[in-house]
Amino acid sequence: MSRVAVVVFPGSNCDADTLAAAREAGTEAYFVWHRDSDLQRADTVILPGGFSYGDYLRSGAIARFSPIMRAVTDHAHEGGAVLGICNGFQILCEAGLLPGGLMRNARLKFLSRPVRVRVESTDTPFTSLYRPGEELTFPIAHGDGRYVVDAREAAELEAEGQVVWRYIDDNPNGSTNAIAGVCSAGRNVVGIMPHPERRTTPVLGGQDGARIFLSMEARHATQHADAVRALGNQHSRV
Amino acid sequence: MAAFRVEVRVMPRAALLDPQGQAVEHALHALGFAEVGTVRVGKHLVLQVTAANRDEARARARSMCDRLLANPVTEEFDVAVESA
């Protein structure tokens, strides 16, 4: 059972849904308050959606200086898995843990509706249980969801396979290359603008999002099995 | 030490779409202000800063912009300093 820290900022509003989705996937998920400095031995950290600090100045700009973000940054630099959903994605970009930034939707309206996305990379801690190219339905709910990178960086993200999800059918917010989610160069930090935690059980209209949470639990189980094997080999040599 | 009034202007990068500016532009045209070309919308921050001199106030303000007030990926800024 992996340990999943869901960070709660003042203004987070998807924290409970995210915690429930992570627990449903079999993880040991718990809340961490943004003023804490300790992630309590988390295997995975999730920054949930919402409107931290009322989106003042820029979405995520103030939350990225919360005390817990020092621990999140250390965790990311050590190769730990970090997922930012919606406002969490904005915070990770502001913190420099992900490339690019998120700006006002191209057509200004706050958008709250299901969209279609394609899984572009399965080589991340959160997408390993999807098939490359698989098409999914996720809800979006954002006003500042237009993902922006310059042309050179966009080409780099495409070349390195750092685009994890892409909007298909239409590009709801005008994102560069219709990018809906990206990962870091190390692939352990992932940001997604749609809300997979709102699509994890049939009663919510579908379960296309469930495997994001199952992927992180599966990754942990695999790593754990490797550790046990390593320990076993060592033991036999003694 | 002296008091300075620092004005920071933060604008969306010129190369990026500014839908807010476009909406204002369209509204001005609808009101008959046909002479208006492109409109861009940014932020204007006014800070009271204490510093040894004007250059130090400017340097500190630029550092504030780099760290918090502007996002270099999406925005550009300029800083004006005057004695308070």
Beta-carbon contacts of residue A122 (< 8 Å; ≥ 6 apart)? A128, A129, A130, A131, A132
pLDDT for position A238: 33
Beta-carbon contacts of residue A144 (< 8 Å; ≥ 6 apart)? A55, A58, A59, A90, A102, A103, A104, A105
Q: What is the pLDDT of residues B27-71, one digit of tens each?
A: 999 999 999 999 999 999 999 999 999 999 999 999 999 999 999
* Chain B residue with the nearest C-alpha to that of A61: B68
Q: Please give the C-alpha separations between residue A194 and each of A61, A114, A157, in angstroms, as whole numbers.
A: 19, 9, 19
Q: How far is B36 from chain A (nearest CA, A)?
A: 21
Amino acid at A132: P
Q: Which residue of A62, A65, A108 is in closest CB contact with B23?
A: A108
For residue B59, what is the domain's CATH number? 3.30.1280.10
Strand partners, A201: A206
ipTM > 0.95 for the complex = no
Contact A157, A182 (CB under 8 A): yes
CA–CA–CA angle B68, A6, A12 (5° rounding): 55
* Sign of the CA dihedral running A105, A106, A111, A116: negative
- Measured distance CA(B18)–CA(B16) in Å, rounded: 6
Contact A106 B73 (CB under 8 A): no
Q: Which residue of A65, A100, A108 is in closest CB contact with B20?
A: A108
Q: Which domain holds residue B16?
A: 2-83
Q: Which residue of A61, A107, A174 is in closest CB contact with B71?
A: A61
pLDDT for position A47: 98
pLDDT for position A220: 85
**What are the backbone angles phi and psi of residue B8, rounded to the nearest 5°?**
-115, 130
Mean pLDDT of chain B: 96
* Chain A residue with the nearest C-alpha to that of B15: A150
pLDDT for position A27: 97
* Residues of B with Cβ-Cβ distance to A57 under 8 angstroms: 68-69
Confidence of residue A223 (pLDDT cuts 50, 70, 90): confident
Q: How many folded domains does chain B comprise?
A: 1
> What average pLDDT does range A133-149 have in this prediction?
98
Q: What is the pLDDT of residues A83-115, one digit of tens each?
A: 999 999 999 999 999 999 999 999 999 999 999
Residue A187 predicted with pLDDT over 70: yes
- Measured distance CA(A204)–CA(B84) in Å, rounded: 57
- Measured distance CA(A52)–CA(A30) in Å, rounded: 19
- Measured distance CA(A137)–CA(A49) in Å, rounded: 18
Residue A237 predicted with pLDDT over 50: no
Write down the domain spans for chain A.
3-237
> What average pLDDT does range A153-162 have in this prediction?
98
Residue A236 predicted with pLDDT over 50: no
Q: What is the pLDDT of residues A37-84, one digit of tens each?
A: 999 999 999 999 999 999 999 999 999 999 999 999 999 999 999 999
Residue A228 predicted with pLDDT over 90: no
The residue with tokens 């190390």 is A186
pTM: 0.93
Tokens of B4: 């300075």
Amino acid at B40: R
Q: DSSP characters for chain A?
A: --EEEEEE-TTB-SHHHHHHHHHHTT-EEEEEETT-----S-SEEEE--B-GGGG-SSTTTTGGGSTHHHHHHHHHHTT-EEEEETHHHHHHHHTTSSSSEEE--TT---EEEEEEEEE----STTTTTSPTT-EEEEEEEESS-EEE--HHHHHHHHHTT-EEEEE-S--TT--GGGEEEEE-TTS-EEEESS-GGGSSBGGGTB-TTHHHHHHHHHHHHHHHHHHHHHHHHHHHH-
* Chain B residue with the nearest C-alpha to that of A149: B73
> Could you confirm whether domain A3-237 is CATH 3.40.228.10?
no
pLDDT for position A232: 57
pLDDT for position A226: 73
